[in-house]
Amino acid sequence: MKNFAYGRVSSIEEAVNRATGDRNAVYIAGGTNLVDRLKAFLDEPTQLLDISRLEIEMKRIEPTLEGGFRIGALVTNTDLANHAEVRDQYPMLSRAILSGASQQIRNMATVGGNLMQRTRCPYYYDPAFACNKRQPDTGCPAINGVNRTHAILGASERCVAVNPSDMSVALAALEASVEVQGEQGRREIPLVDFHRLPGDTPDRDTNLEPGELIIAVRLPPIAFAPSGVYLKLRDRASYAFALVAVAAAVELSGDQIRNARIALGGVAPKPWRASAAETFLQGRAANQSTFEQAADIALQDAQPLSHNGFKVELSRRAIRRALAVSARGGGLV
Ligand code: SF4
């Protein structure tokens, strides 16, 4: 094991300055994924910068002037999921978070850390195997190996891993954005652009610049978000990652769909917004046939691997069901 330094930073500026000056420094807050990676020698930082006691602005959930919420990056998953107004106004977000991990992990895990968690591809965690994400240009054994849990959308010849976050799927459907601070100041990144597709550089998961720190997530007001649902399908009922997940919300005008949001999890290297299906739904009758066609459109570019063809049909069915439940006003799926 390589030695590393540990230090608690006392301001956002100090954190960013220290991380910008040392490309091998890593931020730590809840540590629920990072510590696993340290133990497996996947991350070998020179220093851990503990941000867990940073400014109070990173620990609050505050209403915004526009009518949405600004969620500090250090808010725990438990506190966000149980926030009364978030639960009422953005139920898909609350349910997505509660469907992930265990109560103990959610108590420690933070919003910023949830966005930064890395894939659970088993080859990535096992140094006995090559892995382009762990070490560029070494190969991807998953492509011709056991790939039942891997991607059917957005993968590349270098990596077919999926993003494991449930929270990010709901945030993609809700058109959230991520507020980050770097050497050059603050900027906002739309959630759908925060994570990257693997392409030729699967070792990079996000579009963060070196040293940039997540400060908050912004949730815009969405009038029909209370009808939103989160449907997660997995191998066991709890403490398992999604094989397929759907975050969906439908706004009706009479029997017609005025607006729809769909994002998929467990099927792509990033939270997968189904924009073409959303456009198709606008102005159509809210019925089973419409939902089936929307699901087909969402999956039209799917490229299953040798062991995960079942995810295509599972995704279709999950989309249809999530849309139908949301069109009835939402609730549990
Ligand atoms: Fe590594 Fe990605 Fe291949 Fe998994 S799918 S072994 S993370 S390169």
Residue 5 CA, ligand 1 centroid: distance in Å:
29
Q: Write out pLDDT tens, residues 140-160.
A: 999 999 999 999 999 999 999
Please check whether residue 59 is in contact with residue 83, taking contact to mean a CB–CB distance below 8 angstroms. no
Q: Options 3.40.1790.10, 2.50.20.10, 3.90.79.10, 3.30.43.10; which CATH number does 5-53 get?
A: 3.30.43.10
Band (pLDDT 50/70/90 cuts) for residue 55 is confident
Q: What is the mean pLDDT of the chain?
A: 97
What pLDDT, on the 0 to 100 scale, is given for residue 18? Answer: 97
CB of 159 sitting under 6 A from ligand 1: yes
Burial of residue 101 (number of CB atoms within 10 Å: 0-12, 13-18, 19+)? buried
The structure's pTM equals: 0.98
Strands 47-50 and 25-28, by their bridges, are parallel
Confidence at residue 316, expressed as pLDDT on a 0 to 100 scale = 98
Q: Whose CA is nearest to atom 1 of ligand 1?
A: 131
Name the residue of 159, 163, 196 to mutate for ligand 1: max ligand atoms within 8 A of Cβ: 159
**pLDDT single digits (tens) 317-329:** 999 999 999 999 9
Q: Is the CB of 131 under 6 A from ligand 1?
A: yes
**Residue located nearest, by CA, to atom 3 of ligand 1:** 140
Report the chain's terminal Cα–Cα distance, integer Å. Answer: 46
**Residue 57's pLDDT band (boundaries 50, 70, 90)?**
confident
Task: Say if ligand 1 is within 6 A of residue 76 CB.
Answer: no
How do the domains of the chain map onto residue ranges? 5-53, 56-116+163-219, 225-327
Quick check: helix, strand or coil at residue 153?
coil
Model confidence pLDDT, tens digit, residues 58-111: 999 999 999 999 999 999 999 999 999 999 999 999 999 999 999 999 999 999
CATH 2.40.160.20 holds for 225-327: no
Indicate whether 1 pLDDT > 80.
Answer: no
Q: In the prediction, which pLDDT does 261 show?
A: 98
Ligand 1 centroid–CA 205 distance in Å is: 12
* Nearest atom within ligand 1 for CA of residue 119: 7
Nearest 5°: the CA angle 103, 120, 150 is: 125
Side chain identity, residue 13: E
Say what percent of the chain tops pLDDT 70.
Answer: 100
For residue 196, how many other CB atoms are within 10 A of its CB? Answer: 17
Question: At 267, which amino acid appears?
Answer: V
Helix, strand, or coil here: 48?
strand
pLDDT at 56 over 90: no
The CATH number of the domain covering residues in 56-116+163-219: 3.30.465.10
Please spell the DSSP secondary structure of 173-231, one letter per residue.
Answer: HTT-EEEEEETTEEEEEEHHHHB---TT-TT--B-PPTT-EEEEEEE---TTGGG-EEE
Distance from the Cα of residue 141 to its chain's centroid: 24
Q: In this structure, what DSSP letter does residue 242 have?
A: -
What are 240-254's pLDDT values in tens digits?
Answer: 999 999 999 999 999
Cα separation, 265 vs 267, in Å, equals 5
Å from CA of 130 to ligand 1 middle: 8
Judge if the beta carbon of residue 140 lies within 6 A of ligand 1: yes
Task: Give, for 258, the enclosing helix (H) or strand (E).
Answer: strand 256-265
Q: Is the CB of 124 under 6 A from ligand 1?
A: yes
